[in-house]
């Protein structure tokens, strides 16, 4: 008998103690025969100290049969769970194909960046703490997903027999053969591990300044001198069009010396710059929550900032930068988080 579950929740729990930098792997959910799963949201319930400070996680990500989704690097304050005490809720990773009977439409390849799992795959979660965890610390990660069992049910719910992966970025078109909608090819869709190029993946990362900023000079997050990890790089030379990035949401945890965030493209006449000051001043890119729970309790508005028009970095040199107010921001004084899409084009 076939099954369509529009919303299921997979919960993974981690308990301390653990050292900063340790790689913690959860137990796994194994998909039975004839089942596919489409994960559309990740929620993190982080550990909190007795003084009301959320402990820092270097990243949370998901794995498919032991392979990481390396475009997902969520910290402890980027993905609040649905709860009465949280003003914000984690953003979805994309528009689920298997919600088509609910939404009444088939999402485009750029929208459908949910994580895809086929029969026999295992789903688990990897967490790397950025500071030591005590024995009393607990981390809970929830994956919101759609589950389908049965080939006929899958095609009925999807409402199509093939999915087009043709995309246009600026005036350039990139295409792959249409993907047949079946149990065995489900992870060849956008957000799946077995895609042919163009590979279209959810891109959820954060970065902090490894060095102190130079006063009045835009700071570029580039590994390894100016960012701690390669996935924190937010400035690129994309002229060869091998890779592209689409940004649709952003958040900034500012320092007292912060002034703004900049979307910069070399040669563009107009540079987009927005204020990012700490409370109670204006932060255009409010975060979903702060590390200080007392601040969270007083929040009246939470982020991230959803861009009215997603910003595309394709065939250009450019990136996302921060600027101080004329006084240097110390190392690791600012955090920037990005939600978007990464394209591997060639």
Per-residue pLDDT reduced to its tens digit, 94-150: 999 999 999 999 999 999 999 999 999 999 999 999 999 999 999 999 999 999 999
Q: What is the DSSP string of 23-91?
A: -EE---EEPPTTEEEEEEEEEEE--B-TTSBBPPEEEEEEEETTEE-TTB-B-TTSS--S-TT-SS-PP
- Could you read off the pLDDT of 29-53 as tens digits, one per residue? 999 999 999 999 999 999 999 999 9
pTM above 0.85, yes or no: yes
**Which pLDDT score, from 0 to 100, does residue 239 have?**
97
- Could you read off the pLDDT of 213-262 as tens digits, one per residue? 999 999 999 999 999 999 999 999 999 999 999 999 999 999 999 999 99
Listed by start position, the domains of the chain span 3-196, 204-344
| Minimum mean pLDDT range among 87-96, 276-285, 294-303 | 294-303
Please, are residues 20 and 129 in contact by the beta-carbon 8 Å criterion?
Answer: yes
Sign for the CA dihedral angle at 35, 38, 39, 40 comes to negative
Q: What is the DSSP string of 176-222?
A: -PPEE-SSTTGGGSTT-TTPPSSEEEEEEEEEE-SSPPPTTSPEE--
Per cent of the chain over pLDDT 70 is 100
In angstroms, the CA 69 to CA 342 distance is: 12
In angstroms, the CA 227 to CA 233 distance is: 7
What is the number of other CB atoms lying within 10 angstroms of the CB of residue 129? 27
Average pLDDT for 196-217 = 98
**Which pLDDT score, from 0 to 100, does residue 269 have?**
80
Average pLDDT for 178-204 = 98
**Which pLDDT score, from 0 to 100, does residue 84 have?**
85
**Which pLDDT score, from 0 to 100, does residue 122 have?**
98
pLDDT band at residue 1 under the 50/70/90 scheme? low
Return the residue matching tokens 């929550």: 289
pLDDT of 88 strictly over 80: yes
Average pLDDT for 179-202 = 98
- Distance spanning both ends of the chain, measured CA to CA: 41
CA-based nearest residue to 134, from 19, 39, 269: 19
CA-based nearest residue to 39, from 136, 122, 129: 122
Averaged confidence pLDDT in the chain: 97
pLDDT band at residue 172 under the 50/70/90 scheme? very high
């Amino acid at each position: 008998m076939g099954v369509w579950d529009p919303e299921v929740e997979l919960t993974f729990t981690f308990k301390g103690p653990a050292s900063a930098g340790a790689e913690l792997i959860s137990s796994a959910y194994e998909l039975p025969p004839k089942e596919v799963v489409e994960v559309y949201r990740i929620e993190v319930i982080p550990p909190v100290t007795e003084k009301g400070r959320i402990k820092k996680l270097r990243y949370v990500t998901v794995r498919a049969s032991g392979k990481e989704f390396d475009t997902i690097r969520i910290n402890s304050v980027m993905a609040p769970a649905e709860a009465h005490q949280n003003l914000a809720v984690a953003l979805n990773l994309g528009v689920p194909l298997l919600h088509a009977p609910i939404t009444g439409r088939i999402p485009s390849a750029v929208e459908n960046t949910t994580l895809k799992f086929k029969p026999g795959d295992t789903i688990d979660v990897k967490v790397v703490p950025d500071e030591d965890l005590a024995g009393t610390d607990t981390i809970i990660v929830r994956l919101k997903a759609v589950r389908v069992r049965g080939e006929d049910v899958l095609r009925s719910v999807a409402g199509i027999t093939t999915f087009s992966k043709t995309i246009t970025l600026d005036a350039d078109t990139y295409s792959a053969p249409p993907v047949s909608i079946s149990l065995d090819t489900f992870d060849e869709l956008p957000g799946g591990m077995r895609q042919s190029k163009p590979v279209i993946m959810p891109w959820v990362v954060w970065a902090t300044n490894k060095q102190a900023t130079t006063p009045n000079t835009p700071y570029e997050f580039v590994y390894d001198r100016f960012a701690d990890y390669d996935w924190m790089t937010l400035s690129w030379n994309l002229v060869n069009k091998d890779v592209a990035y689409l940004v649709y949401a952003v958040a900034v945890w500012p320092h007292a010396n912060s002034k703004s965030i900049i979307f910069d493209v070399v040669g563009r006449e107009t540079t987009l710059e927005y204020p990012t000051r700490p409370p109670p001043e204006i932060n255009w890119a409010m975060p979903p929550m702060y590390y200080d729970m007392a601040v969270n309790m007083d929040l009246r508005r939470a982020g991230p900032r959803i861009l009215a028009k997603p910003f595309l970095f394709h065939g250009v040199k450019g990136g996302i930068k921060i600027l101080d107010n004329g006084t240097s921001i110390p190392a690791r004084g600012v955090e920037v988080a990005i939600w978007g899409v990464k394209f591997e084009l060639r």
